[in-house]
Amino acid sequence: MRLAAVDARAVELGLVPGLTLADARVRTPDLLVADHDPLADADFLQRLADGCCRYTPLVAVRGADGLVLDITGCAHLFGGEAPLARDIFARLARRKLAARCAIAGTPDAAFALARHGRQGAVPPGQEAHAVRGLPLRALGAAPEIVTALNRAGLKTIADLAARPRAPLAARFGDDLLGRLDRTLGRIDIRITPHRAAPSCIVERCFPEPIARSEDFEAALDMLLGKAVRTLEERHEGGRIFEASFFRTDGRVRYIVVETGRPSRDCKSLMRLYREKLDSLADPLDPGFGFDLIRLAILHSESLDPAQQSLDGRQVDDEEITALVERLSARFGRDRVLRYAPQDTHDPQREATLRPAVEAQVETASWREPLADDPPARPLHLFEPPQPIETLAEVPDGPPLKFRWRRVMHEIARAEGPERIAPEWWRTDAATRDYYRVEDAAGHRFWVFRDGLYGRDTERPRWFMHGLFA
């Protein structure tokens, strides 16, 4: 067993990661240890990233113990970069966490300085000067590359930057040069936030934390009003609304509601949030209170004023949409479903279930039956199809009679076959011949023969797939 991580006091005592536990106990008999749990560490880092979203919506997790915040355009909201950094340190200190922080023009420069250099803010354009003395491992390259460069006499970033680029690219690849340019501030890249950046954000900070449900519901109502006015200016409507409740201990709770169509109706949105809050399996716990509530519009669409229809159909559609939204908010989006067509001729995969509150973007359309034509597909399909025993006049012809559920059915009329073969890229299904049959009592069935005589099997089996009304 080896040490996976050590604190500052352990470093002062000469303990380092990788040291065996037996050696560590010899050096420090009263050593306190805990089992290493990488999954729990990753989950805790994600919660820290959620807590840092109070400073900027662009927060990325980097490595096993690092966070990168893009504070462009956000620092002035906290009095500047230095006060923002002090506030982060204060919140982490209350959770007894040690941290290092650096602010620079590129993510790689800031990360390298935070890990291996001096803390604080780097003046704009001075990244190359600030990182010159850092060791090569600050680039984040593979350990074998760093070892090879050290053996070649290159110890610092300045040593590497002074060497010709072509031999380095030929020996170590373009990735090393890309890391070098980003760390020196020559190339800036956008970070990939752990949560997608919303199209609109409104928030409310509280000098004193609030804990009553009436207070944060009133704050949420006020934020919805501000968001709706912003949507009106953009001629848009929101589809996905996310309310973030930031507790004083750093935990964040997200409550999301969706609408069936673009909306900027503040009253209906607040009603959806009340439905959501009342139906939560894990109730919203304020703890010692919320000091920040934020409302983000994760997805919005164009919304222009619609003309009212004379037949009242639009009113009915709006009522149905409102009902779907309320049911989805109370029971969950995956419990209120609708059928959507699929671009396939296979009857078993011709329709699929999707959340009814999702945007109805169809890749296929339902088949329109011809006038006075009997239905080609039954209303009720069996999943899976049920086997039947048949008697046919010729092997490839329709059945004369069949037994299903211990009942013999005499065929009076039959129509078919309708041959349905799988797509060329699918090899897990055989060709089927479907028949629409009617027995002497007037009951109509949809049956098929699985496979063809002499090609797929010597004795194809028959199945009942559906019942017509």
Q: pLDDT tens digits, residue range 373-427?
A: 677 788 788 888 999 998 887 777 888 999 999 999 999 999 888 888 877 777 7
Which residues of the chain, if any, have pLDDT below 70?
305-316, 359-364, 369-373, 428, 453-458
pLDDT at 85: 92
Tokens of 21: 């536990």
Tokens of 293: 């509530």
Contact between 68 and 191 (Cβ < 8 Å): yes
Q: Cβ contacts of residue 186 below 8 Å, gap of 6+?
A: 128
Which residue has 């680039």 as its token pair? 139
Q: pLDDT tens digits, residue range 431-443?
A: 888 999 999 999 9
Contact between 224 and 269 (Cβ < 8 Å): yes
Instruction: List, in sequence order, every residue forming a beta bridge with 410; answer none if it has no partner.
Output: 401
pLDDT at 284: 87
Tokens of 336: 């209120």
* Among the listed residues 45, 25, 23, 41, the one whose alpha carbon sits nearest the alpha carbon of residue 33: 25
pLDDT at 338: 85
CA-CA distance, 198 to 240, in Å (whole number)? Answer: 10
User: Domains, the chain, ranges and CATH?
Assistant: 1-36 (3.40.1170), 41-183 (no CATH), 200-328 (3.30.1490.100), 380-467 (no CATH)
Q: pLDDT tens digits, residue range 173-218?
A: 999 999 999 999 998 888 889 888 888 899 999 989 999 989 989 9
pLDDT at 360: 64
Tokens of 314: 């639009």
pLDDT at 363: 62
pLDDT at 50: 92
Q: Cβ contacts of residue 206 below 8 Å, gap of 6+?
A: 219, 289, 290, 291, 292, 293
Tokens of 415: 């129509």
CA-CA distance, 286 to 316, in Å (whole number)? Answer: 39
CA-CA distance, 20 to 2, in Å (whole number)? Answer: 4
* Among the listed residues 263, 378, 401, the one whose alpha carbon sits nearest the alpha carbon of residue 321: 263
pTM of the model: 0.70
Backbone angles phi, psi at 377, to 5 degrees: -125, 140
Q: In one letter, which amino acid is 48?
A: L
Which residue has 């999301």 as its token pair? 256
pLDDT at 146: 92
Other CB atoms within a 10 A radius of the CB of residue 246 amount to 22
